[in-house]
Amino acid sequence: MTEKLYDLAERAARKGWTVIKSTEVRGDGAQAPGAVTLCGTGEEPQPLAVHFFNAQDGGFHNGDYYAAGERAAAEARYAYQAERFTRHHARLDARAASAADAETAPAGPRM
């Protein structure tokens, strides 16, 4: 059975938000699939938000909100979060490749 995943743009629009930037995060069994997002909320006094969008439940989680004059801070937080998830998945990929290499490596001499 294929699980229904929620659409980021549609869910943001429902909240009256605009997606400015997003970085996809694939699910890995522990982490839900979704995206790190930088959104315009249209709400004062903090019209910018950085969240993790969970495509499984359609929610925006672990948010940080920023005033219009804090755009650089919002961009920096977005970049940090996106890089954090990218680094996490790179480590998982490296572990999987190492395990696959170990399974296919020729057996060495026995002692």
Closest to 48 in 3D by CA, of 37, 39, 59 = 39
Q: Is 58 exposed, middle or buried (0-12, 13-18, 19+ CB in 10 A)?
A: middle
Residue 23 confidence (pLDDT)? 94
Question: In the chain, what are the domain boundaries?
Answer: 8-102
pLDDT tens-digit profile, the chain (111 residues)? 456 789 999 999 999 999 999 999 888 877 889 999 999 999 999 999 999 999 999 999 999 999 999 999 999 999 999 999 888 777 777 777 777 666 665 666 665
Q: How far apart are CA 43 and CA 110, in angstroms?
A: 68
Residue 1 confidence (pLDDT)? 46
pTM equals 0.77
